[in-house]
Amino acid sequence: MTKEPETVIKLSEIVRTYNLSAEPVYALRGVSLEIKQGEYVAIMGTSGSGKSTLMNIIGCLDKPTSGTYTLDGQDITTRSDDELAAIRNRTIGFVFQQFNLLHSMTALQNVMLPLVYAKVPKVNRKVKAELALSELGLSSRMEHKPNELSGGQQQRVAIARAIVNSPRILLADEPTGALDSNTAREIMGLFNRLMEEGMTVIIVTHDPETASHAKRVIKVKDGLIQEDTL
Amino acid sequence: MKSLEDISELLAIAWQGILSNRLRSALTVLGIVIGIASVITLLGIGQGAKLEAEKQVQSLGVNLIYVRPGAANLSSISQGQGSAATLTYDDAQAIRETCPAVEDVAAQYNSGFQAQYGEQNTSTSVVATEPSYVDIRNFYPAKGRFFSNTDMKEASRVCVLGETVANNLFGATGENPMRKQVLIRGELFEVIGVMEHKGVTQMMDMDDQIFIPLTTGYATLVGLNAVTGKQVKSILVRAKENEDLQAQFQITNLLRLRHNIQNPDSDDFTLRTQADIMQTAQSITGVFSLLLGATAGISLLVGGIGIMNIMLVSVTERTKEIGIRKAIGAKYSEILAQFVIEAVLMSLTGGILGIGLGVAGASALSQFANWKTDVTPASVVLSFCVSLAIGLFFGIYPARKAARLDPIIALRSE
């Protein structure tokens, strides 16, 4: 691993429009961007800037209207919904502002869920999920339901769920938005650790404090990249 | 979605969905339970009624043919049975003597009379018939004996009481009816036997009858008709084994000859066989079963709509969950399967509980209400399949709705 880190994400001339009325609304007007393996990137922008659309496209939840997106060497702009689901499952780990855990399930079951869809055998599933939870300091909270956990603990369960399937990319949408500042700092520390372990971390936020943890900040405005600290 | 493990996985996911709202799932299941239970019970009642009707027809005797006076139809106008007094004792004798396919014949003349013993009296049907009646009807005395050919020849003043009549006349005092003199229309008859219990067949209470020799009947109660001779109300014929059709043919021809009938449309007698009666009984119980089944089917349909309703509510409520599952890699088919299996699990659970409840309900009806019920394995299998089909049918639309959700929109919902 002495070589130049490979490019994981390559966006070229990505345009995304919404046809809500007769006039198409431009969310992205031609975004080109490269993110390399192991980078720690913050995507910043105000509400309506297009950063959420950019995140959805990077996260394979949405498809661009035009332009190409190469993820992990594969062109994914032409993939079907089911293929995108499989790519999300294997390559991307999501962390959300509202944690988005399933409330009827325990922490362990929540973390096991991506492995269920990845068709990992049952025995391995439990081992992997327990390992991920332990790494995040939740070994004593595995059988708790989300509503029995604090906000910071819930976000750590969500991170465990995001990384349990060893994805290339961790995509976090306002991960500290629902947390107090101490807990927020703790969570950001976790992202740092994951980045040091070699994971590509992308954080979408409007908060400069959160973005300051990242090595590279990309500012989005009016559907275009306004500034890239690379 | 091929291996067994995958299926058990999907089952586990769906089961979790059901458990996440226990009360609602239980109430939804209850709709199916009631539907399936009523199908099972009502089909059981219908089947029981059918078997009972068949049993009654069987109990009338084997290879039985009824010959009755009067035309069934005359130029497509029904004249009604018994509208003509055309059948005589001589006809019965002729059938007995000339029809080779006929095993046995019993002419009968019955009419309603008052019977009296001591203080007790009862209104009943007096049947004047021949000794062969018992074998043809498959109906025997429990006490004493039926009248004999000697009684016929001598026109003895003897009678055999049906069970109900015996109870009505002798039940209050507890006396033994044997050898007692019973008064019928001012004439005394000695009781020589009491018939066994037979119950109601073809809407006629077989136990509420008094039997006397036909000759005695002519001598005492009926009197002879100068024009028609010894008129009879009906002739019971037992055909030889497997010769029903020949017997019918022979009787029809014989009677046409004796009554000088050239045109079959002007027959002054009617033949009815056990098969005819069975057919009537079956068509009645068939309609009965159909009505019961339709009623149960409607409740099942309502139960199915209940499942669809709850699944739709569930999909709307769990939009966020669907978004999360999709974001972390659930495919269309996996979301679809989750919700279809959830619906099927609920309807199958309801189906199995409903089958149990229906079987219990049917046997409770037999036990306590004395209704004949018969739950067939076919109706159990049918109910099981129907509940499976209901889950699939009413689950697929909500499940498709769930599986088609856009993950971005689903994630954004609250």
- Select from A57, A62, A92, A113 the residue whose CB has the most chain B CBs within 10 Å, as the one to mutate to test that interface: A113
pLDDT attached to residue B220: 84
Contact assignment for B331 to A85 by CB distance below 8 Å:
yes
Give the rounded percent of residues in chain B with a pLDDT score beyond 90: 43
Closest CB to B328 among A56, A117, A119: A117
Would you call A59 an interface residue with chain B, using a CB distance cutoff of 8 Å?
yes
**With 0-12 CB in 10 A as exposed, 13-18 as middle and 19+ as buried, what is B283?**
exposed
When mean pLDDT is compared over B33-37, B71-75, B368-372, the highest value belongs to B33-37
pLDDT attached to residue B1: 44
- Helices A81-91, B332-368: inter-axial angle, 10-degree rounding: 100
**Residue B24: partners with Cβ closer than 8 Å, 6 or more residues away:** B310, B314
pLDDT attached to residue B83: 44
Closest Cα of chain B to A2: distance in Å? 32
Q: Where are the domains of chain A?
A: 39-61+81-228
Closest CB to B328 among A62, A114, A121: A114
pLDDT tens for each residue of A178-200: 889 899 998 999 999 999 988 99
Tell me which chain B residue has its CA closest to the CA of residue A52: B408
Contact assignment for B328 to A161 by CB distance below 8 Å:
yes
CA distance B315 to B309: 10
- The mean pLDDT value for B260-280 works out to 81
- End-to-end alpha carbon distance in chain B: 30
CA distance B267 to B91: 14
Return the number of CB contacts < 8 Å for A and B.
60
Contact B266, B71 (CB under 8 A): yes
When mean pLDDT is compared over A167-181, B6-20, B287-301, the highest value belongs to A167-181
- Select from B328, B405, B411, B412 the residue whose CB has the most chain A CBs within 10 Å, as the one to mutate to test that interface: B328
pLDDT attached to residue B130: 93
Contact assignment for A85 to B6 by CB distance below 8 Å:
no
pLDDT attached to residue B81: 47
Residues of chain B with Cβ-Cβ distance to A50 below 8 Å are none
- pLDDT greater than 60 at residue B7: yes
B242 — pLDDT class (breaks 50, 70, 90) = confident
B240 by DSSP, 3-state: which?
coil
pLDDT tens for each residue of B329-339: 999 999 999 99
**Residue B158: partners with Cβ closer than 8 Å, 6 or more residues away:** B147, B151, B189, B190, B191, B192, B212, B213, B216
Residues of chain A with Cβ-Cβ distance to B5 below 8 Å are 121-122
Would you call B326 an interface residue with chain A, using a CB distance cutoff of 8 Å?
yes
Closest CB to B329 among A56, A62, A118: A118
Whose tokens are 């809500």? That residue is A20
Contact assignment for A82 to B407 by CB distance below 8 Å:
no
CA distance A61 to B199: 77
The CATH topology of domain A39-61+81-228 is Rossmann fold (3.40.50)
pLDDT attached to residue B226: 46
pLDDT tens string, chain A, 230 residues long: the values are: 456 788 999 999 999 998 877 888 889 999 999 999 999 999 999 888 989 999 999 999 999 999 999 998 889 888 999 999 999 999 999 999 999 999 888 999 999 999 999 988 888 999 999 999 998 999 999 999 999 999 999 999 999 999 999 999 999 999 988 889 899 998 999 999 999 988 999 999 988 988 988 999 999 999 999 998 87
Angle at B140 between CA B135 and CA B141, to 5 degrees: 145
Would you call A56 an interface residue with chain B, using a CB distance cutoff of 8 Å?
yes
